[in-house]
Amino acid sequence: MRQNLTERLLFLRAFVTHPTRVGAILPTSRRAVRDMLDLGDVGAANLVVELGAGTGVYTREILARLSPGAKLMALEIDPQLAKLLGEEFSDPRLQVICDSAENLHRHLSGARADMVVSGLPFTSLESDLRRRILDQMVQALAPGGVALVLQYSPFIVKELRLRFGSVKRIISPVNVPPAFLFACSADRTAAAPDASN
Ligand SMILES: C[S@@+](CC[C@H](N)C(=O)[O-])C[C@H]1O[C@@H](n2cnc3c(N)ncnc32)[C@H](O)[C@@H]1O
C-alpha cells in the first residue's frame, strides 16, 4: 500500500515536472494493462520491449506473463522513475534503460522484439519526436511481431496506419481517463479484436 502511494506520488511529481512528456496524472489501471496485454501473446515472446515504463504497471504484468527464458527491455526517460524500476524489480529477465525511446535501436544492437508495448503519450509529444519513435517501433519489430499502444484519444490511428498493415483498436473503460488500446502489426491478416475505425 505504502509502495503504491510512493509510486503514485513519484508519478504525479514526474507529471508536474514534465506534463507533456508524462501525459497522465495517474499510472494506467491494472484492468487497462491486462486488456492491453491480452491483445498480444507475451508468453510466446522471446523479447518484449516496453517504452515509457513509468512506475512499472506494465512491467509487472509483462514479467508475470513472460516465459522463463525470455527478456524484457524497459525504456524510461525519467531518471527517478528508471531508478525506481530498477529497485522495484529484481528479475534477471528485466533490463531497465534510462533513455529516450527514439534511441531504441542503440540498445537492441540488431535484435528484434516480438512485442513492443508503449505507454508513451504520443499525442502530447512534439511531432518530430513522435514520428521518430513510431519509426523505431516499426524497425524494432521481428517478423510477425505486434506493437501495443495505449492512448487517451484515438488521434494516433492515422500515424499508426501509415506504418502498420494492420491496426486494431479496443477501448478499455476502466481507466482514468478511458483508454484506447491499439494492436499493430505489419501483417494485414494478424489476429486481434476488430476495430476498424
Ligand atoms: C503516460 S506515462 C505511462 C507510464 C506507465 N507505462 C503507465 O502506463 O502507467 C508515460 C511515460 O513515458 C515516459 N516517457 C515520455 N517520453 C519518453 C521517451 N521519449 N522515451 C522514454 N520514455 C518516455 C514518461 O516519463 C512516463 O513515465
- DSSP per-residue codes, the chain: -HHHHHHHHHHHHHHHHSHHHH--SSPPPHHHHHHHHTTS-GGG-SEEEEES-TTSHHHHHHHHHS-TT-EEEEE-S-HHHHHHHHHH---TTEEEE-S-GGGHHHHHTT--EEEEEE---GGGS-HHHHHHHHHHHHHHEEEEEEEEEEESSSTTHHHHHHH-SEEEEEEE-SSSS-EEEEEEES-TT--------
Domain assignment of residue 197, yes or no: no
Give the rounded percent of residues in the chain with a pLDDT score beyond 90: 84
Domain assignment of residue 192, yes or no: no
The binding-site residues of ligand 1, defined as CB within 6 angstroms of any ligand atom, are: 14, 21-24, 27-28, 51-54, 57-58, 75-78, 81, 100-102, 119-121
Q: Is the pLDDT of residue 190 over 90?
A: no
CATH no. for residue 164? Answer: 3.40.50.150
Ligand 1 atom closest to Cα of 18?
25
* Mean predicted lDDT score pLDDT of the chain: 92
Domain assignment of residue 194, yes or no: no
Give the rounded percent of residues in the chain with a pLDDT score beyond 70: 93
Domain assignment of residue 191, yes or no: no
Ligand 1 atom closest to Cα of 11?
27
Domain assignment of residue 8, yes or no: yes
Q: Is the pLDDT of residue 32 over 50?
A: yes
Domain assignment of residue 12, yes or no: yes
Q: Is the pLDDT of residue 194 over 70?
A: no
pTM of the model: 0.93
What per-residue confidence (pLDDT) applies to 197?
42
| Domain range for 42 | 2-185
Read off the pLDDT of each residue in 19-45 and give the average, rounded to a whole number. 94
* Residue 58 cell numbers, joined: 506494465
Number of domains in the chain: 1
Read off the pLDDT of each residue in 26-44 and give the average, rounded to a whole number. 95
- Ligand 1 centre to CA of 100 (Å) is 9
Domain assignment of residue 79, yes or no: yes
Residue 100: CB atoms within 10 Å: 18
